[in-house]
Amino acid sequence: MEPVTLYHHPGCSKSRDTLAFIRAAGIEPRIVDFLAAPLSRQELESLCKHLGLPVTGLMRTGDALYAELGLDSADCTDGQRLDALQKHPLLFNRPVAVSGLGARICRPPETVLDILPIRPG
């Protein structure tokens, strides 16, 4: 069976719901607690590539901290945004699930079903 990795924040209801969908399918994912161990620049770049998104796609752009740090500025670079994600992991747009079938930001949590090798139920 294809392994599934979940970039998880236990305090986030969407993240907990996504984990429940994965487990309902009989899969125990590799859980990455990105708050306890912030992702490296390379890991963040890899996620962007897997998701097919720009760096801003990995970020909670509506969070007040995003604007406070000037990340919404037109002259802010992707490098500066990646640095901010490493320094402030709460800006990470979670949850993110990755499997051999693809990667998804799981908002809504049901989005994870698109990349599970087995459907729940």
* pLDDT at 118 (0 to 100): 82
Give tens-digit pLDDT for 12-33: 999 999 999 999 999 999 999 9
Peptide bond into 95 cis (omega under 30): yes
What is the distance of C-alpha 3 from the center of its chain?
16
Given a cut of 80, whether residue 55 has pLDDT beyond it is yes
Q: Residue 62's pLDDT band (boundaries 50, 70, 90)?
A: very high
Residue 106 tokens read as 């799981």
Distance CA 10, CA 17 (A): 10
Catalytic residue, chosen from 12, 48, 76, 106, is 12
User: What is the arithmetic mean of pLDDT over 75-88?
Assistant: 97
* Domains by residue range for the chain, with CATH: 5-115 (3.40.30.10)
Please report the pLDDT score of residue 2 as a whole number. Answer: 67
| 76 included as an active-site residue | no
- The pTM (predicted TM-score) of the whole model is 0.93
What confidence tier does 121 reach under pLDDT thresholds 50, 70, 90? low
